[in-house]
């Protein structure tokens, strides 16, 4: 007998015995069980796909974005002003008039991105998980990687809900940074005076982003049938790769 890779309780199993049929459960149960029994969720969805779960994630995220649209608009204004000042300082040929003409277009594009960015992040992260698994000789298909990243995203909906509640229940008139609504050390830093690289790095340490990474590690271990340590190694690589752009190019 040996310990099953990725199991929540390290349950023993016989590798020579027939695999048990996947546990049947509803999508609603996935959204509940992922918080306290993630291995169970990943095991039962190993071959069943992720379409419905992704649709639910997208709908809920869109609702949170819609509820927070006013504060996102003022955050865009502040970020655009900071970006304009930096761009004009680096390129004297740029004028305020030129930047003002570009603002409506960028704002419209930014508002659309807010609604579609979640599935993009999920699919891109799944690609990185799949490639990393290949490098580490962990057997995962891209569909399985996307299933893992979709299910792992569910707790991040709590972060989105808490952000929307802050907008609805608190005075957010002075919010000028997306980090001000998050749950990372960047929340306590002044975006006007803090180095952009440091701000991006601190922002990547959001509680729900780290939770997402941990769940991806568990999912890799369960679906790829490898020890948790290898699953966490894979997700650590993915976390570093996805974090670099947040501060390296600011």
Q: Which of 20, 21, 3 is nearest to 12 (CA)?
A: 3
What pLDDT is stored for residue 134 in this prediction? Answer: 95
Cα–Cα distances in angstroms (integers) from residue 238 to residues 47, 71, 155, 231, 242, in the given order: 23, 31, 18, 11, 6
Give me the pLDDT at residue 3, please. Answer: 43
Q: Could you list the beta-strand ranges (E) of the chain.
A: 2-3, 12-13
Paired residues of 12 in beta bridges = 3
Q: List the one residue out of 247, 59, 222 whose CA is nearest residue 148.
A: 222
Structure tokens at 78: 């502040």
Sign of CA dihedral 84, 87, 89, 93: negative
Residue pLDDT tens, the chain, 250 long: 334 445 554 433 333 434 455 567 788 899 999 999 999 999 999 888 888 999 999 999 998 888 877 777 777 777 777 777 777 777 777 777 777 777 777 777 877 888 889 999 999 999 999 999 999 999 999 999 999 999 999 999 998 888 888 877 777 777 777 787 788 888 888 777 777 778 778 888 899 999 999 999 999 999 999 999 999 999 999 998 888 776 555 5
Query: 167 to each of 110, 157, 171, 178, how far by Cα in Å?
Result: 19, 15, 7, 12
Give the Cα separation of 194 and 233 in Å (integer): 31
Predicted confidence at residue 133, as pLDDT, reads 96
3-state secondary structure of 57: helix
Residue 151: other Cβ atoms inside 10 A = 26
Per-residue pLDDT, 13: 33
d(CA 76, CA 149): 28
CA–CA distance, 173 with 171 (Å, rounded to integer): 6
């Amino acid at each position: 007998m040996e310990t099953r890779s990725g199991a929540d309780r390290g349950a023993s199993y016989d590798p020579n015995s027939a695999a048990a049929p996947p546990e049947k459960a509803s999508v609603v149960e996935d959204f509940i069980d992922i918080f306290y029994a993630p291995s169970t969720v990943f095991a039962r969805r190993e071959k069943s796909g992720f379409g419905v779960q992704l649709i639910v994630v997208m709908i809920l995220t869109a609702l949170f974005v819609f509820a927070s649209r006013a504060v996102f608009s003022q955050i865009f204004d502040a970020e655009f002003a900071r970006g304009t000042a930096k761009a004009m300082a680096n390129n004297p040929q740029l004028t305020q008039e030129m930047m003002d003409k570009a603002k409506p277009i960028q704002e419209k594009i930014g508002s659309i991105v807010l609604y579609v960015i979640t599935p993009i992040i999920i699919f891109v992260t799944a690609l990185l998980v799949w490639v990393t698994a290949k490098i580490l000789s962990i057997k995962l298909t891209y569909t399985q990687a996307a299933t893992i990243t979709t299910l792992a995203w569910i707790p991040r909906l709590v972060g989105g809900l808490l952000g929307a509640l802050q907008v609805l229940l608190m005075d957010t008139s002075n919010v000028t940074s997306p980090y001000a609504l998050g749950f990372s050390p960047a929340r306590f830093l002044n975006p006007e005076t803090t180095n952009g690289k440091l701000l991006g790095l601190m922002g990547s340490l959001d509680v729900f982003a780290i939770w997402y990474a941990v769940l991806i590690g568990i999912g890799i271990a369960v679906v790829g049938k490898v020890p948790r340590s290898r699953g966490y190694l894979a997700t650590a690589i993915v976390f570093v790769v996805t974090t670099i752009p947040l501060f390296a190019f600011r």
